Amino acid sequence: MIAILDIQAVYSRGLTDPKSLTSQERLVYLLVDLETCADMEGWDHFFMHSGIEYYPEILAGLRAAGDMESLEILQDYERALREHGVAFDSDAIGDFMCNASDEYLQSCRDWREDYSRLAEARWQKVKDYLSQYGYTIMA
């Protein structure tokens, strides 16, 4: 039996209580939440708020789906912050971004752009991965 995951319905439920979602639903929710936050609030916003709690789950989901390119972008972001002495937690990222120099802001990689560029390929990999568990994604 195939279960349909309606992206908007999953996202709406996840906004209320991400822990109530199945692991497959939560992966869909987290990827949509990251994309939405990055587009509306800026890339760092997701990591300065509740998204950081689920960061390991996002990495594991992308790895399981075989999306090594998106995974590399997230890991590069984390690595770049750590190289600047920033602990990878929401408070430290928030403090750093509030005080980031213009030099840093102008010279750092555009992780949002790089991640967004991969959206179509990422979602195809996630769809293929979730199909192994009897899910199909409906946009």
What's the Cα-to-Cα distance from 18 to each of 102, 104, 134, rounded to whole Å?
35, 33, 21
What's the Cα-to-Cα distance from 119 to each of 31, 67, 112, rounded to whole Å?
10, 10, 11
- What is the spatial distance between Cα 80 and Cα 111, in angstroms, rounded to a whole number? 11
pTM: predicted TM-score of the whole model, two decimal places: 0.93
Q: Where are the alpha helices (DSSP H) in 66-110?
A: 68-83, 90-99, 102-107
Enter the CATH code of domain 3-134: 1.20.1420
DSSP 112: H
Ordered per-residue pLDDT tens for the chain, 139 residues: 788 999 999 999 999 999 999 999 999 999 999 999 999 999 999 999 877 899 999 999 999 999 999 999 999 999 999 999 999 999 999 999 999 999 999 999 999 999 999 999 999 999 999 999 999 998 7
Give the domain ranges of the chain. Answer: 3-134
